[in-house]
Chains A and B, each alone.
Chain A
């Protein structure tokens, strides 16, 4: 293959490369992203490689080798790329080939040939083999040789990790056009739907994976996304949910077979238990009850059992609460209130669990839309979100020269001043002298920006004064009149009191009017007329505004120069 691929001959796909699962997607000629199933019919392809007598198995086939051939099976290796041995957490690999230090990098000692000898395979070589298989599956499906991709990565992926991944991809014959952040890819997957309407909103993306959970708070302004805060957690994960089921079924097994021993204490039994528990977890996301059945679970004894969703929800309630805490923590980190969040996008395999969505539902106000299969009929499959986003981005940039892509993603372009306060006008209220703040451009909007809005004028018309102001979001907490408490109630525990009070509080989002930026007079406005306001703010904070009566001519134009001391320039 030639070194530089001509952009005209590029066939680009989207790849989501995860610790537990990977997936591939492309964009159809109609501009719709479609997830590709591999030869085994899987759209979520386990990121696992296994070697049996020199034969390479991947995906679901490799996953089955956890039981018989754990030592020559490599899994959960994505986060090891580009890392130093001492900085990794090898816990997820406990049941498969263990990572070992190899020079400055990490490797696995596995028998990957037919010979009876262990070879040391670096994590980047493993990644190359995995990506090669993904590429081949996509090529076979598309009937064209895939040679480029947009790959999603977590927001805390370091440059060293990206470089390592880029190298591994190149070895696999894939030119990485761009790395995009997983949560942003999820937002793009939703925004690219034809029915989606662009709005200025704050979106929270909760990516609930197997070995880790990542939460990001993103400001979406006119289809441009800015990450405000991120939280990563390696404790709150899908593995913990699997563990709940493993413990449950292990105890049931021991109750039934008194002499059977604990299946968790034997490696092979434990692997069987884990695989089946994950399958049961998935079944419980769809149905209200599921069967657990393993042949020869331990000591040659078969075991079957059923579990219903209510029981599972109860057993795992601690973990569902942890998800809700993690998400609210991210909101706090962004210095926002749950009321500021207009949408929550649930991504990642564990977002299929209905109880996760309902735990978040109760932590957020009704104004927040939760996009998950169990709460919204229009939601997209959470497992496919990031790969769809990657496929869309790939189709947008695949005709660009690499140099163009690099220049466009350079900080010179991406570092942009963002408005620190909302800018809007005062609208009519009950009193004629004062007004209610109506935001036209929200805070955290990247500059330059141009927005217009239509506002109402006083009913009787005449001469109108329009005030252009800054505003800040503010949470108004109204407490109803405190009820006279009886002495008995006071004896209740503190916890009870607190939760009761919180329920009584009425929280709403209001605006606090900041400084007045400019005033404009519109004379002779017709009765009941509406006024169109258009604001353009440049990167140097110059404000250009036009106020015009709808249907009328002329109007008032004004220019407001930016602050004299521009300390933060455009770069």
Chain B
């Protein structure tokens, strides 16, 4: 959409609402992408930290 006139936000960004609560589910411990996820979680790394390694 086009920016309406008079819109303002801090650094052009305005936070309005939080995300809805998530549901806890069990992911399947299978496949290369899960292993990458487990590695990040166990070492408490973020995506970008993981990319650098």
Q: Is there contact, CB below 8 Å, between A518 and B27?
A: no
Stretch from A110-118, A339-347, A412-420 that touches the partner: A412-420
User: Which bracket fits the contact residues of A?
Assistant: 35 or more
Q: If the complex has contacts A396-B35, A408-B42, A428-B1, are A560 and B18 also in contact, measured as CB distance less than 8 A?
A: yes
**From residue B37, how far is it (CB to closest CB) to chain A in Å?**
6
Q: Is there contact, CB below 8 Å, between A393 and B17?
A: no
Judge whether A305 is part of the interface by a CB distance below 8 angstroms: no
**From residue A120, how far is it (CB to closest CB) to chain B in Å?**
37
Out of B15, B22, B31, B42, name the residue touching A419 (CB < 8 Å). B22
Q: A541 CA to B22 CA in the complex, in Å?
A: 8
Q: Is there contact, CB below 8 Å, between A516 and B1?
A: no
Out of B20, B24, B31, name the residue touching A393 (CB < 8 Å). B31
Which residues of A sit under 8 angstroms from B3, Cβ to Cβ?
Answer: 462-465, 521, 523
Q: Is there contact, CB below 8 Å, between B24 and A465?
A: no
Interface 1/0 per residue, A168-185 and B, CB below 8 Å: 000000000010110011
Judge whether A260 is part of the interface by a CB distance below 8 angstroms: no
Q: A418 CA to B9 CA in the complex, in Å?
A: 30
Out of A191, A226, A458, name the residue touching B27 (CB < 8 Å). A226
- The listed residue with most A CB atoms (<10 A of its CB), out of B4, B13, B38, is B13
Which residues of B sit under 8 angstroms from A368, Cβ to Cβ?
Answer: none
Q: If the complex has contacts A407-B42, A409-B29, are A418 and B24 also in contact, measured as CB distance less than 8 A?
A: yes
Judge whether A337 is part of the interface by a CB distance below 8 angstroms: no
Q: If the complex has contacts A434-B1, A444-B25, A465-B1, are A393 and B12 also in contact, measured as CB distance less than 8 A?
A: no
Judge whether A448 is part of the interface by a CB distance below 8 angstroms: yes
Out of A226, A467, A543, name the residue touching B25 (CB < 8 Å). A226
Q: Is there contact, CB below 8 Å, between A561 and B18?
A: yes
Out of B1, B13, B16, name the residue touching A464 (CB < 8 Å). B1
Q: A470 CA to B19 CA in the complex, in Å?
A: 8
Q: Is there contact, CB below 8 Å, between B27 and A446?
A: yes
Q: Is there contact, CB below 8 Å, between B1 and A426?
A: yes
Judge whether A450 is part of the interface by a CB distance below 8 angstroms: yes
Judge whether A338 is part of the interface by a CB distance below 8 angstroms: no
Q: Closest chain A residue to B4 by CB distance?
A: A465
Q: Closest chain A residue to B51 by CB distance?
A: A450
- The listed residue with most B CB atoms (<10 A of its CB), out of A198, A417, A426, is A417
Out of A184, A411, A417, A462, name the residue touching B2 (CB < 8 Å). A462
Which residues of B sit under 8 angstroms from A426, Cβ to Cβ?
Answer: 1
**From residue A479, how far is it (CB to closest CB) to chain B in Å?**
31
Q: Is there contact, CB below 8 Å, between B30 and A225?
A: yes
Q: Is there contact, CB below 8 Å, between A420 and B21?
A: yes
Which residues of B sit under 8 angstroms from A560, Cβ to Cβ?
Answer: 15, 18-19
Stretch from A34-42, A57-65, A128-136, A562-570 that touches the partner: A562-570
Q: Is there contact, CB below 8 Å, between B28 and A226?
A: yes
**From residue B1, how far is it (CB to closest CB) to chain A in Å?**
5
Q: Is there contact, CB below 8 Å, between B21 and A568?
A: yes
Judge whether B52 is part of the interface by a CB distance below 8 angstroms: no
Judge whether A423 is part of the interface by a CB distance below 8 angstroms: yes
A interface secondary structure, majority: strand
Stretch from A93-101, A486-494, A495-503, A551-559 that touches the partner: A551-559
Q: A428 CA to B2 CA in the complex, in Å?
A: 9
Interface residue ranges of A14-54 to B (CB < 8 Å): none
Judge whether A223 is part of the interface by a CB distance below 8 angstroms: yes
Q: If the complex has contacts A222-B33, A557-B11, A561-B15, are A447 and B22 also in contact, measured as CB distance less than 8 A?
A: yes
**From residue B26, how far is it (CB to closest CB) to chain A in Å?**
5
Which residues of A sit under 8 angstroms from B23, Cβ to Cβ?
Answer: 417-418, 420, 568
Q: A181 CA to B28 CA in the complex, in Å?
A: 8
Judge whether A421 is part of the interface by a CB distance below 8 angstroms: yes
Which residues of A sit under 8 angstroms from B21, Cβ to Cβ?
Answer: 420, 541, 563, 567-568
Q: A223 CA to B38 CA in the complex, in Å?
A: 13
Q: If the complex has contacts A465-B3, A515-B17, A559-B15, are A413 and B38 also in contact, measured as CB distance less than 8 A?
A: yes
- The listed residue with most B CB atoms (<10 A of its CB), out of A435, A450, A558, is A558
Judge whether A433 is part of the interface by a CB distance below 8 angstroms: yes
Judge whether A227 is part of the interface by a CB distance below 8 angstroms: yes
Q: A372 CA to B22 CA in the complex, in Å?
A: 35
**From residue A539, how far is it (CB to closest CB) to chain B in Å?**
8
Interface residue ranges of B27-49 to A (CB < 8 Å): 27-35, 37-38, 41-42, 46-47
Q: A192 CA to B34 CA in the complex, in Å?
A: 13
9 extra interface residue pairs, beta carbon distance < 8 Å, beyond A185-B30, A416-B26, A519-B14: A180-B29, A181-B30, A226-B27, A407-B42, A413-B41, A414-B26, A521-B13, A561-B18, A562-B18
Q: List 20 A-B contacts (CB under 8 A).
A: A181-B30, A184-B28, A188-B30, A191-B31, A198-B33, A218-B28, A396-B35, A414-B29, A420-B22, A463-B3, A464-B1, A465-B7, A470-B20, A514-B20, A515-B16, A517-B17, A521-B12, A560-B18, A562-B19, A568-B22
B interface residue numbers (CB < 8 A to A): 1-4, 7, 9, 11-35, 37-38, 41-42, 46-47
